[in-house]
Amino acid sequence: MNSGAIDAYTFLQHGEVFVGLQTGNFILFGISLSKLAWWQSLRYLFSILMFALGVVFIKHLQASRYRERNIKRIILIIDLLLLVVVGTLANFISDILIVGLLAIAAAAQFQEFKLMNGNPFNPLMMTGNLRKLLDNFYSFLRFKNVKARRIAIDTCLVLFCFILGSLIMGLLTNVFDKYAIFMNVIIISIVLLVTNQKFKV
């Protein structure tokens, strides 16, 4: 939900730039270059670079002693802080800086949250998840593979929540404008509250 909402937010409120869906930014970057729209192309490039910086930063945390202190909670707290900063300063700092901060938050999720019930998934880009859903659904129907059914259900849940997040964000931006990002603050706060015990991977 958080991933769908965060991309919908920056696309609708901050210059039609994605912070998680970097494939989309690469496409839009190429299109803007073809139209000689230099400023817009820089916005996409900045998001890509900040996402890369976020991946490297989280990779460093994962390799450090923080791994012993439940890195998932640490990353959620970092995400929460970035979201609060963006929500608080949404009308006072530039769109490009907001996109940069949220790209780091998206990268943190992407780098750390890769498993669901022991199976790989992608929290940001749904193309691979859609393929996985169909692949496992077929395996269940054709070969009665019970594990494939469980993976298909989990993957369907991921796709549904991603769409739900973008849907709710689309509605909230009509009412709360740039402050709609506080929906993501609520989502991550709930996750932190209900997962006081150690995360399972």
Q: Return the closest-CA partner of residue 181 out of 109, 85, 113.
A: 85
Residue (of 157, 123, 128, 127) closest to 20 by Cα position: 123
Task: Say which DSSP state 16 is in.
Answer: S
Give the pLDDT of residue 65: 66
Are 97 and 198 in contact, with CB atoms under 8 Å apart?
no
Q: Is the pTM of this model over 0.75?
A: yes
pLDDT tens-digit map of 100-158 = 999 999 999 999 998 888 999 999 989 999 999 999 999 999 999 999 999 999 999 99
Predicted pLDDT at 195: 83
The Cα–Cα gap between 188 and 40 comes to 30
Q: What does pLDDT average to in each consecutive run of 10 residues of the chain (201 residues)?
A: 96 96 96 95 97 95 72 92 96 95 96 90 92 96 95 96 97 97 96 73 42
Residues 111, 59: contact at Cβ < 8 Å? yes
Enumerate the domain spans of the chain: 2-194
- Spatial contact of 130 and 77, defined as CB atoms under 8 Å apart: no
pLDDT of the residue at 71: 86
